[in-house]
Amino acid sequence: MNESATRLAEQGVGSIFLYTHEAHPGENYPPHRTMEDKAKCAQGMRDVYNVNRPIYLDDVAGALHIQFGGMANMTWIFNKAGVPLYKSRWTDAKSAENAATYYLDVQARRKNRERLAPFMVERIDYRDVNKEKRLEGLGRAGQKAVDDWVKLYEQDKLFFKPGTDPGA
């Protein structure tokens, strides 16, 4: 998402990272009990993954995260008035950039006084799946994070399947 955020920033699109709970707690990144715990983990993520976007922390009890769906790595896009326009249960840079580019075009058309009405659309997008890379990332959090993930992976409970929920 870093590269995408940089490209979109040139067009006036903001990007932030909203730090939630540890979805896969491990020995190195254990469950948070305080905001200080959360800040320490967030800084670790910024250092290791070179996150170039402003990082904001949700409350330690996850009030915002839970309200918006609680998924481990979801993305939402909002307009300036705080209206959500797009939500994705998983983060994918191409999907989010595609949507943001579309909404920029809508805003430009409105400035040109085109008469536009909103409508709902549903779609399936696709993301990269790389098990080795995923395990490498979880390994940084700790062996427990790996073991918990593998357990559910082997039970085939980790990926969205049409018609089922919650999936991840």
User: Please, which contacts does 74-80 make with residues 24 or more away whose CB atoms are closer than 8 Å?
Assistant: 77/103, 79/103
Least distance (Å) between residue 50 CB and another protein: 13
- Of 21, 159, 13, 18, which Cα lies nearest the Cα of 85? 13
In the region spanning residues 88 to 107, those forming contacts with another protein, defined by CB under 8 A, are 89, 91, 96, 100, 103-104, 107
Q: Closer to another protein at the Cβ: 16 or 125?
A: 16
In the region spanning residues 8 to 67, those forming contacts with another protein, defined by CB under 8 A, are 8, 12-26, 29, 31-33, 35, 39-49, 53-67
Q: Closer to another protein at the Cβ: 47 or 113?
A: 47
Least distance (Å) between residue 36 CB and another protein: 8
CB 46, CB 53: distance < 8 Å = no
Q: Closer to another protein at the Cβ: 79 or 130?
A: 79
Distance between CA atoms of 60 and 35, rounded to whole angstroms?
Answer: 6
Q: Encode 51-71: b = buried (16+ Cβ within 10 Å), e = exposed.
A: bebeeebbeeeeeebeebeeb
77 binds another protein (CB under 8 A): yes
Pick one of 6, 84, 130, 159: the residue that binds another protein (CB under 8 A). Answer: 84
Residue located via tokens 């039970």: 155
Distance between CA atoms of 28 and 67, rounded to whole angstroms?
Answer: 27
Least distance (Å) between residue 162 CB and another protein: 13
Spatial CB neighbours of 12, under 8 Å, sequence gap ≥ 6: 104
Using CB under 8 A, count the residues that bind another protein: 92
Q: Closer to another protein at the Cβ: 82 or 115?
A: 82
In the region spanning residues 109 to 168, those forming contacts with another protein, defined by CB under 8 A, are 118, 120, 137-138, 140-141, 145, 148-149, 151-152, 157, 165-168
Residue located via tokens 């390994």: 139
